[in-house]
A and B are shown apart, each in its own frame.
Chain A
Amino acid sequence: MRTTKYSFIVISLLVLSSMILTACGPKVVTGTLTMLDWSGYELPEFWSDFAATYPQVKVEFSFMSESADSYAKMKSGFQADLVHPCSNFWKIMVDEGMVQPLDTSKISNWKNVNPALAAQGQFNGKQYWAPWDWGFESILVRKDLVQNVPTSWADLWKPEYKGHIALYDSGETAHVITALALGIQDPWSTTPAQDEQIKQKLLELMPNVLTVWSSQTELEQMIASGDVWVAASAWNASYVNMLDQGLDVVYIDPAEGRGGYLCGFAIPTTSKNTKLALAMIDAYLAPSSQAYLANEYGYGIVNTATIPLVDPNTVKLLSLEDQNIISRTVFYKYLTPEQRDAWTSVWSEVKTSK
């Protein structure tokens, strides 16, 4: 009796202590990470490093159709851990305290990020934004359906494209391409008289416009079905996707210059998962992820260590290193709230004027 009671006590103590010891070991990280991102970037190839390090963390994607959409969502209380707008909204979000500075020492791939692009994400001496992708906005044309391929933004107004043009549903984009078509050098410092001119010019374009698009998939469907012959402000990925589908398309280099954008990630101030968010940024900046972005979508990348992994044909196809084209590209600049309000109102009115 005594020995059984004695051994029972010893065994229970042993079991208890081993349980306590295992509990003190490495814990599996759980939780949820909420991403506010463009559709298409949720593919696991873009964050494979994160999935490998934190297999128990649930990653939820919520989609934004344009940078203004992400701003609106966050303003109306949407809680995200990472947001991915483009540089024209970077300053506004910092100024309104919507995003927090990044601790780049926790991002292992930061040392290889193109310094010129990283500098664009710095405000008040702190790094708020991690740039990730850049690309063009240009005219995508179904060569087999049009008589003459347009060579400039101004060509969109030609009557031969009546009823077959699709425009991106953004007041900013509409303002910029119309300004360029009118020969205005800097669309971001237009006078009120020029703004009125732009509005009238846009109204003149409406007979040519079949519809406006807000999702890339929607646009690609319309181009593939032949409803749309000339797609304005189409992105690199659409060009690559249409070619992959065997369509006879061409991505124009307009006389006034292509539109250009730089987009990147930041952590909203309200996020409680800063550590995981930084790890996710690191995963997105990894060479494998950036190479996938360049090879499959044809976008420009920021991680200089990725160059050997990128398909040189894609680089040539999208002119990602063609300095002649890049120097003439009109990259999006910061938007003041007044400009955002004014340009969105004009666009709302023009869109529904038919």
Chain B
Amino acid sequence: MGVLGGRSPPNTPIYLFIMKNRSRFASLIGPPSLYLFLLFLLPMGVMFIYSFRAGISGAAHDTFTLANYQQFITNTHFLRLLWRSALIAFTIAIVSAILAYPLAYYLIFRAGANRVMLMTLLIIPTWTSYLLRIFSWKLILGSSGVLNSLLLAAGLIEKASPILIYSRGAVIVTLVYVWVPFVALPIFAALERIDKNLLEAAADLGCKPWQAFLRVTLPLSLPGILAGFFFALIPTLGEFVTPLLVGGASGSMYGNLVQDQFMRALNWPMGSVMSLAMLAAVLLLVFILTRLGDLSDLAGI
């Protein structure tokens, strides 16, 4: 009976390679697996148990109940906020991908010798403090900030107003700014792997440059775009720092609610339920989206 239980194992080269060198793989995968088990799976297990408790101290701590799950499902505002956060995260991931693609394309196809230097320039802002970069957006978008001063000077508005700051838009703008360099990296990697001869061949066959792009470059870079999309989507779904600082009342996300449950309401059971719900949502999303683009392409297997 093979590893897949019942069905005969695949004959792919990679599978056969792993099975032949089992002990070597075990010793390589062992330490990270142990690390993941102790610091990720076990705490998740503790959280799973907490989601069934009635409270965090005294008698409530030892009582187990489904009440938290019931409350989560019946009180629509939790699910509504999860949906809203998913939409925001989606928007951020898509906009980041759209903005990062031309950047990566230019670096690979046009930058030539300056490629490494320009790439470094792209990455440098990520070396500064995350909070500092969010704060800088407060300065740009605020009432007495750069944007307002510019619009006032151009005569487009009469009175300064915090138009963009403390809103959902501010959260999206700030997070797109943070994530574009990260999304550009996998696209950069995917574009670099494209054989230039393919483009030459396309030109020989009579393709105009934009046709060659659509029929050769874009499809081949799709795994990179997908990877970049996930890079941005999954962390932003649980984001709470940026909404806290620039989101205002309308820009709060699911993460803020989880933080409130754990820190202010001391309702760790409810917080656990909410976190597990988000985990389930992300897993579902990843499952659906990976069926659209074969992720094994990314690993190069």
Contacts and interface: CB of A to CB of B under 8 A. Distances in A.
A163 interface: yes
Contacts of A227: 142-143, 162, 165-166
B268 to A, nearest CB: 9
B283 interface: no
The 9 A-B residue pairs whose C-beta atoms are closest, nearest first, are A354-B250, A211-B248, A226-B143, A344-B265, A211-B166, A227-B162, A227-B143, A352-B252, A354-B249
Interface stretch (A43-51, A67-75, A181-189, A302-310): A67-75
Contacts of B165: 227
A211 B56 CA distance: 30
Given A96-B57, A225-B142, A225-B145, A351 B249 contact: yes
A348 interface: yes
B294 interface: no
A107 to B, nearest CB: 31
Interface residues of B, number: 29
Interface in A197-234: 206, 209-212, 221, 225-227
A341 B145 CA distance: 39
A163 B165 CA distance: 11
A349 B260 CA distance: 10
Contacts of B257: 348, 352
Given A75-B266, A170-B264, A206-B249, 13 more contacts: A209-B249, A210-B162, A210-B248, A212-B249, A221-B138, A225-B144, A226-B143, A341-B265, A344-B265, A345-B267, A348-B260, A348-B261, A354-B250
A313 interface: no
Interface in A304-354: 340-341, 344-345, 348-349, 351-354
Interface string B167-207: 00000000000000000000000000000000000000000
A354 B260 CA distance: 17
Nearest to A224: B144
Contacts of B263: 69, 72
B249 A210 contact: yes
A300 interface: no
A167 B228 CA distance: 38
Nearest to B259: A348
Is chain B's binding surface mostly helix, strand, loop or mixed?
loop
A341 B267 contact: yes
A227 B147 CA distance: 13
B242 to A, nearest CB: 13
Contact of B160 (A69, A226, A353): A226
B169 to A, nearest CB: 13
Interface string A90-102: 0000001000000
24 contacts: A68-B264, A72-B262, A75-B56, A164-B162, A170-B264, A209-B248, A209-B249, A210-B248, A210-B249, A211-B166, A211-B249, A221-B138, A225-B144, A227-B143, A227-B166, A340-B266, A341-B266, A345-B267, A348-B264, A348-B265, A351-B249, A352-B77, A352-B81, A352-B252
Contact of B260 (A75, A96, A163, A344): A344
B256 interface: yes
Interface in B73-99: 77, 81
Interface in A147-178: 163-164, 170-171
A168 to B, nearest CB: 12
A341 B41 CA distance: 30
Contacts of A344: 260, 264-265, 267
Nearest to A344: B265
Nearest to B263: A72
A164 B162 CA distance: 9
Contact of B266 (A71, A212, A354): A71
A226 B264 contact: no
Given A163-B162, A210-B166, A227-B162, A75 B144 contact: no
